[in-house]
């Protein structure tokens, strides 16, 4: 095909405009955070999650949502001025089966600009073993700085390292990498609507229930459904 100079310019302009539009669409698509609507006995709230910050954690969480794992579970641990936790037990306090644990991504997420454990953020619950999180999650109802992961600076030994208000110098990297104290809890999302419902949940009276000696809502707070809405 033979183009005149005008036709070439027009064609090139059209192609550049199309490429720009496609690029803008790709960026917009990448910026859309998946959202999940939780319907509870106290009302509804919506969370958004961040696969760009904690990809394995988000994929794990969304798979539980898609599998309807959370439907019919309870918030079994509620501590006003701390957090509300659920996603693991049904209304009879029977623990639901889970997939293998997800790898801990707290330090990596924070290093990518992810959130700390601030009011309204969503984080994975776990045991003292950092890589033990499965389905249970919690919502921070206050700023819980002591739950934040600690990002390890580069170097071996690490020239300077700060932890809990103290400064350490020339610390062997292996010593820090293997320290469970530094892992913290992986934040992977936040409540974007319905925080008033979360605040209702945090304020319910608690006591003993099932296998738990304390912090269990006296009237069960049921998580009726969790649905991916985008």
Same domain, 38 and 103: yes
Same domain, 90 and 59: yes
Same domain, 64 and 46: yes
Same domain, 88 and 110: yes
Q: Which whole number is the average pLDDT over 193-220? A: 98
pLDDT in tens, 34-82: 999 999 999 999 999 999 999 999 999 999 999 999 999 999 999 999 9
Query: What's the CATH number where 194 sits?
Result: 2.40.100.10
**Domain of residue 3, residue span:** 1-30
Are 59 and 65 in contact by the 8 Å Cβ rule? The answer is no
Query: Left if phi > 0, otherwise alpha if psi is -120 to 50, otherwise beta: which for 120?
Result: left
Query: Left if phi > 0, otherwise alpha if psi is -120 to 50, otherwise beta: which for 23?
Result: alpha
Are 147 and 123 in contact by the 8 Å Cβ rule? The answer is yes
Contacts of 145 (CB under 8 A, 6+ apart): 116, 117
* Own/partner long-range contacts of 171-178 (Cβ < 8 Å, ≥24 apart): 176/152, 177/152
pLDDT in tens, 119-176: 999 999 999 999 999 999 999 999 999 999 999 999 999 999 888 888 999 999 999 9
Q: How many domains does the chain have?
A: 3
Are 208 and 132 in contact by the 8 Å Cβ rule? The answer is no
Mean pLDDT of the chain: 90
- Kindly tell me the number of DSSP H helices and DSSP E strands found in the chain: 5, 12
Same domain, 11 and 81: no
Same domain, 94 and 165: no
Same domain, 78 and 22: no
Q: What is the pTM of this model?
A: 0.85
C-alpha to C-alpha distances, 149 to 71, 89, 154, nearest whole angstrom:
30, 26, 16
Phi/psi of residue 130, nearest 5 degrees = -55, -40
Sign of the Cα pseudo-torsion (88, 94, 95, 98, in order): negative
Are 91 and 75 in contact by the 8 Å Cβ rule? The answer is no
pLDDT in tens, 91-108: 999 999 999 999 999 999
């Amino acid at each position: 095909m033979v183009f005149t100079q005008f036709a070439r310019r027009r064609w090139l302009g059209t192609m550049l405009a199309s490429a720009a539009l496609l690029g803008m669409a790709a960026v917009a698509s990448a910026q859309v955070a998946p959202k999940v609507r939780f319907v509870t006995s106290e009302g509804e709230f919506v969370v958004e999650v961040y696969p760009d910050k904690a990809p394995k954690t988000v994929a794990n969480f969304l798979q539980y949502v898609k599998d309807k794992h959370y439907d019919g579970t309870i918030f079994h641990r509620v501590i006003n001025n701390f957090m509300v936790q659920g996603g693991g037990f049904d209304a009879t306090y029977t623990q639901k089966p889970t997939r293998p644990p997800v790898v801990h991504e707290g330090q990596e997420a924070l290093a990518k600009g992810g959130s700390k454990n601030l009011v309204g953020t969503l984080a994975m619950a776990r045991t003292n073993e950092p890589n033990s999180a499965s389905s249970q999650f919690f919502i921070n109802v206050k700023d819980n700085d002591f739950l934040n992961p600690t990002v390890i600076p580069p170097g071996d030994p690490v020239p300077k390292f700060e932890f809990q208000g103290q400064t350490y110098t020339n610390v062997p990297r292996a010593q820090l990498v293997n320290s469970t104290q530094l892992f913290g809890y992986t934040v992977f999302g936040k409540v974007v609507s319905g925080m008033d419902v979360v605040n209702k949940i945090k304020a319910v009276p608690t006591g003993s229930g099932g296998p738990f000696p304390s912090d269990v809502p006296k009237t069960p707070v049921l998580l009726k459904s969790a649905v991916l809405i985008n």
